[in-house]
Structure 1
Amino acid sequence: MQQRSPEITIIGGGLVGLSVALGLLLSGRRVRVLDGADSDARASQGNFGLVWGQGKGWDFAPYANWTMDALAVWPEFARQLQELSGIDVALDQSGGYEFFTNPAEMDGFRAELEQQAAHLGHRANYQMLNGDDLRSQLPGIGPEVVGASFSPRDGHVNPLRFLRALRSAVQTAGGRVTMNATVAVVTPQRGGGFALALADGEALYTEQVVLCAGLGAATLARDLGFITQVRPQLGELLITEKLGNRLPFLSSTIRQVDEGGVQIGGTKANAGLDDRETLPIMSKLAHHAVTVFPALADVRVVRAWGALRVMSPDGYPVYAKSSLYPGAFLVTCHSGVTLAPLHASVLADWIMNTSPTPDLEAFDECRFALSHAA
């Protein structure tokens, strides 16, 4: 007779899956996390570590407000993680810049921030700086930089330490994390619940299942009646040697981790499942960094890599409950760092259908069906 497994099984042990698992565990549920193979495309191990709000949801008010909710609770979430895991994720939320060398691009982003502010009302907080004002505040910014936006709410964490902290916190809270456990098939059961067939032949049963496997969830999602089709987006990064001096700024494309190295990134490309870095992009990233902060010209690059982001059709998060098979959920987004505090709290309430249940209707996948019909 098949042994009864934990009440809820999370498929996917990245930032999103572990955050959801932690929220459910802290709410008293029994949770198992099944993480895939090391060879899987893992956005959680190649992200930029930003806790960022500038421009997000400028054309989609629910996402603008959802992001702002997350930024507001990140300090308490970081404290909670350290208490559970003993790991400091190095949260620095002292503000971030978006730099521009093209006046038209800066004007376009200014318009987006104005629209985002219209959604956020009194919670909006940003300023636009011209090049001269920027250089007076941040000596060393290059002469080709025409200006920047700044938001005091933006920040970053150490992304790999954050992943370790989440995994440790889940285990401390009583969750079971199984590595190298690739789910091949999910079969809804006639009397409720789901049978899981793993690639290694193991069979499991769960009462509820939450798909958080990013790019690896496509087939399983279709089998459970979900229509969302995620796609990969390639981002490439440069990593420099560790610097003794601290950079005087954080931006969405240039950040210094707490150990001293500088990450340079911000590219977006549709390259399928190919996550290899490319020389033209590496050169472009280096040129951007030196243009913004010329002192980086003498810094050595020690590593470079590409990583695949998980993108929904419109780029916004998807939180969906299966209409065909009650107890099945789909959770996917490309802002797993920024939104983690809400995935570990509000989203858990939504999955458990507590009262009052959070209204996440704006993030349901039905918007894709309506868009296709239109």
Structure 2
Amino acid sequence: MTAPAQQRPRTARTFDVVVAGGGLVGMALAYGLARTGRRVAVCDGDDTAYRAARGNFGLIWVQGKGGRCLPYAQWSLVSSQRWGTFAAQLRCETGVDPCFERPGGFELCETVQQLDEGQRLLESLRERDAGLDYQVLDNAELRRRIPAASSELAGALYSRNDGHANPLFTLRALHEAFQARGGVYLPRHDVTEVIPRSGRFDIVTTAATLEAERVVLAAGLGNARLGPMVGLDAPIAPLRGQILVTEKLAPFLDYPTLVARQTREGSVLLGDSAENVGLNDGVRRDVMSDIAQRAQNAFPLLANARIVRAWGALRIMTPDGLPVYEESQTHPGAFIAICHSGVTLAAAHADVLAPWMAGGARPEVLDAFTTTRFTASSVNQHV
């Protein structure tokens, strides 16, 4: 007979929680779990793994989210509001600055039609939650705030809830803070199997077998393979985004936008593309050309900027683009987290989601983010 978890001797391979996945989602959850005093291990793959966290644009974005599901907008807003304290704590614990700023964000509109459609969406959200407020700016007001913006733009939509951060510094800070709190990070330990036992789980990796009372699947696209092992569905598919990076330029953009954001170092990230290309994280010249053209249309001074880097990365997308957070009904203690907004939601993952996965009360906001919404009886509620 298997001894109860609390009576089994602890070993170097025994943990309270094992997290599968060392990206922004997995590390935010692992850091939050470690803060609860649990002994936590993170199993990560090698550098050939698809890593959305390392190809992220860095936006902390609320504006326009939740058009078909208000709780998604509210969940994003909760995280955005927590980001200041979250970033300060990481900086205090590690000395690594995530470079978080929340000056508000702009969605730039090239046509009056785009501006009108965007306003209708944001107004429908504001009517249901006053915290999702916004401003509509004509071209003159836009250029007063961002003088480098093109005189050809119809205007912009502004939300004070938006910001940005450095994804790589954030990920580094999470790793360091997690390990400083006793967390064990295991690179080159790609999880190959999760075996439910009586009151525990065996987590089999390419390098070892670990034992834990709880397991959190935050392995991105790998969740599709791991989820069914513990009775969890993971309806996900890759969606490629490409990013271009310019040389360092004199400061001209104090706010994040969906097409460009300037880092503290001066380089400018250009992006906002989406391609259904399967597991191909490469780049295409025509997509890069389109990204560069739209950025130049918004900010003419970029016409002479040199592009120094470009890459593609795979977003982790559910059928409706919303997150999935669930505990297994057949194997309690097994959780899954699926999310393509790893930067935006990092603070909420650490502060709100992790305590639930550690054994705390389940937040009501998660009711909107289960896979039951994909069943025939509930799909109309989210369309």
Q: Report the TM-score when normalising by structure 2.
A: 0.93
Are the aligned partners of 2:148 and 2:252 in contact in 1 as well (CA < 8 Å)? no
2:3 aligns with none
2:317 to 303, 311, 314: 311
2:242 aligns to what SS in structure 1?
strand
Residue 116 of structure 1: how far off its partner (Å): 1.6
2:181 aligns with 173
The answer to whether residue 105 in structure 2 is matched with residue 105 in structure 1 is no
| CA displacement, residues 101-148 of structure 1 (integer Å, 9 cap, x when unaligned) | 122222221111112212322x12210112233223322321321110
2:19 to 10, 31, 41: 10
- Structure 2 residue runs without a partner (length 5+): 1-8
Cα distance in 2 for partners of 1:91, 1:373 equals 36
1:273 aligns with 279
Residue 173 of structure 1: how far off its partner (Å): 1.2
Identity %: 42
**Partner amino acid for 1:358?**
P
The answer to whether residue 201 in structure 2 is matched with residue 194 in structure 1 is yes
Cα distance in 1 for partners of 2:358, 2:363 equals 10
Cα distance change on mapping 1:371 and 1:242 into 2, 3 Å: farther
1:361 to 336, 347, 367: 367
Aligned pair count? Answer: 370
Task: Report 1:196-235 matches (<5 A).
Answer: 196-200=203-207, 202-235=208-241
Cα distance in 2 for partners of 1:196, 1:50 equals 33
Task: Report 1:248-263 matches (<5 A).
Answer: 248-263=254-269
**Partner amino acid for 1:73?**
R
> RMSD across aligned C-alpha pairs, in angstroms?
1.7
The answer to whether residue 349 in structure 2 is matched with residue 340 in structure 1 is no
Cα distance in 2 for partners of 1:305, 1:243 equals 20
List, as ranges, runs of 4+ consecutive aligned residues in structure 1 with deviation greater than 6 Å.
none
2:153 aligns with 145
1:116 aligns with 125
Are the aligned partners of 2:188 and 2:206 in contact in 1 as well (CA < 8 Å)? no
Cα distance in 2 for partners of 1:246, 1:173 equals 39
Are the aligned partners of 1:247 and 1:256 in contact in 2 as well (CA < 8 Å)? yes
**Partner amino acid for 1:225?**
G
- Structure 1 residue runs without a partner (length 5+): none
Are the aligned partners of 1:48 and 1:159 in contact in 2 as well (CA < 8 Å)? yes
Residue 245 of structure 1: how far off its partner (Å): 2.9
Cα distance in 2 for partners of 1:140, 1:203 equals 55
2:144 aligns with 136
Residue 248 of structure 1: how far off its partner (Å): 4.2
Residue 362 of structure 1: how far off its partner (Å): 1.5
Cα distance in 2 for partners of 1:370, 1:249 equals 42
2:308 aligns with 302
Cα distance in 2 for partners of 1:97, 1:373 equals 32
Residue 26 of structure 1: how far off its partner (Å): 0.7
Are the aligned partners of 2:194 and 2:203 in contact in 1 as well (CA < 8 Å)? yes
| CA displacement, residues 201-227 of structure 1 (integer Å, 9 cap, x when unaligned) | x22211110000011121111221112
Cα distance in 2 for partners of 1:166, 1:89 equals 9
1:94 aligns with 103
**Partner amino acid for 1:65?**
Q
Are the aligned partners of 1:65 and 1:119 in contact in 2 as well (CA < 8 Å)? no
Cα distance in 2 for partners of 1:186, 1:250 equals 40
Residue 66 of structure 1: how far off its partner (Å): 0.8
| CA displacement, residues 298-349 of structure 1 (integer Å, 9 cap, x when unaligned) | 1110011111111111111110010111110001101111111111011122
Cα distance in 2 for partners of 1:266, 1:248 equals 19
